[in-house]
Every structure is written in C-alpha cells, then in structure tokens.
C-alpha cells in the first residue's frame, strides 16, 4: 500500500482517508498533514484566532437556525425566479422591505420563532414582507390566509372552511367535500347534521 509522509511529524502512514484528510489540490487527494497533526494545527489556530473562530461558529449556527431558513426562503420566493414559489410571490410583485435584506434586522424585528410549528406569515396576503405585515404564526392559520381559500358566506359572515369548521365543530373534510365534491350549497353544507356511516 502507498505510504505518505506527514510534513509535520515526519511519520509515514498508509495513504488513505483514515490517516489523512481529503484535500483538493494534492496529487493523491489527501492532505500533507496526518490527521493528528491536522487536529493539533486547527486547535492552535482556534486558540490564536478566538474572535474569528467564534464568528465562524456563529455563522454556522445561524445558517442552520429556523429563523435564518425562514429569512432566506422569503428572499428566494421574492427574488429568485428559479424557485417554485416565485410565481406566487416575486412574480405577483411581493417584495421584502429594504431593512430586511440584512438577516440581523429581520431577526431583531421578528424575534426568535416562538414554536417549531410556526412559520413566517404575512397578515395581509397581498402585502409585502415588512415588520408591520409579518408575524410568526401556526401553519394552520397561514393556510386560512392563502389566496386559494374561498370564503363561504353564511348568516352574514364570511369565513374560510377552516374557520367554519372550528366555529361549528364540524370536520373540515366534511364541509370541504360537501361543497367541492358534492356541490352542496353553503347553507346545506354548514347546517345539515352528518349522518352516521353515511357520506358526506
């Protein structure tokens, strides 16, 4: 098996990823420091560059945070025509306020996401991403706000299916099926009691 000599400790090890890290730019694809020297070098680098190291950790943690993902997805939806959601956002003229082009400002205004089930929600669905129009909200609440949700008018009130379902204590699917699939009127769909074992 090929041997490779570490340029720091001068020991020879088998030239495999078990003993050397992968490193582009080396003829055999393996770095010239053995793994234990590599570890020692990075530790002393960290000790001499504490601030820089902390900054890199912060960046790394930030890149994985829910808030950061919400923020970057928001930017993508509005400005990257290659994303699937763009047609519902950027293409419809939905923008992000300039202050929020910086993640730090977005985080400062929105605060940390309160619950893992929350996502970034616009209060007015035709409005832009800006502090006055955004909140962290449960995904269910967000569903109600989407354009595709038709409003059902009954007794002078206009509500989405999800809202009627909550108010009347009727299963969402019952109302939905009655109207979309069976073509019932709103009144029928919201007032008739479901019969056991019978659909809808």
User: CB 50 → Zn ion: shortest distance, Å?
Assistant: 24
User: Does residue 159 contact residue 170 with C-beta atoms inside 8 Å?
Assistant: no
Of the pair 35, 113, the CB lying nearest Zn ion is at 35
Strands (E), the chain: 3-5, 12-14, 20-22, 30-34, 118-122, 134-138, 152-154, 157-159
User: CB 110 → Zn ion: shortest distance, Å?
Assistant: 48
Of the pair 9, 140, the CB lying nearest Zn ion is at 9
Could you give the angle at the alpha carbon of 16 between the alpha carbons of 10 and 19, nearest 5°? 50
User: CB 47 → Zn ion: shortest distance, Å?
Assistant: 19
167 vs 159: CA distance, rounded Å: 10
Residues that bind Zn ion (CB under 5 A): 6, 8-9, 34, 37
User: CB 7 → Zn ion: shortest distance, Å?
Assistant: 8
Of the pair 9, 108, the CB lying nearest Zn ion is at 9
User: CB 73 → Zn ion: shortest distance, Å?
Assistant: 43
175 vs 194: CA distance, rounded Å: 10
SS3 of the chain: helix, strand, coil, percent, to 5: 50, 15, 35
Of the pair 3, 191, the CB lying nearest Zn ion is at 3
| 102-128 burial code (b ≥16 CB/10 A, e <16) | ebeebbeebeebeeeebbbbbeebeeb
- Tallying the residues shown for the chain, one arrives at 200
60 vs 76: CA distance, rounded Å: 20
Of the pair 33, 129, the CB lying nearest Zn ion is at 33
User: CB 32 → Zn ion: shortest distance, Å?
Assistant: 9
Of the pair 37, 190, the CB lying nearest Zn ion is at 37
Pairing outcome for strands 134-138 and 152-154: unpaired
């Amino acid at each position: 098996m090929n041997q490779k000599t570490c340029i720091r400790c001068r020991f020879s090890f088998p030239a495999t990823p078990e003993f050397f890290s992968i490193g582009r730019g080396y003829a055999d694809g393996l770095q010239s420091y053995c793994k234990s020297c590599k570890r020692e070098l990075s530790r002393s680098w960290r000790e001499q560059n504490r601030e820089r190291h902390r900054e890199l950790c912060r960046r790394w943690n930030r890149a994985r945070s829910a808030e950061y993902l919400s923020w970057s997805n928001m930017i993508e939806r509005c400005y990257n025509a290659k994303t699937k959601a763009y047609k519902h956002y950027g293409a419809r003229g939905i923008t992000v306020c300039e202050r929020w082009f910086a993640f730090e400002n977005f985080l400062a205004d929105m605060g940390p996401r309160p619950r893992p089930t929350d996502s970034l929600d616009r209060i007015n669905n035709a409005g832009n991403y800006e502090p006055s129009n955004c909140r962290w909200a449960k995904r269910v609440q967000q569903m109600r706000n989407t354009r595709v949700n038709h409003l059902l008018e009954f007794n002078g009130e206009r509500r989405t299916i999800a809202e009627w379902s909550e108010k009347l204590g009727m299963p969402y699917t019952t109302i939905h099926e009655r109207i979309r699939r069976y073509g019932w009127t709103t009144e029928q769909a919201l007032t008739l009691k479901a019969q056991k074992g019978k659909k809808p």
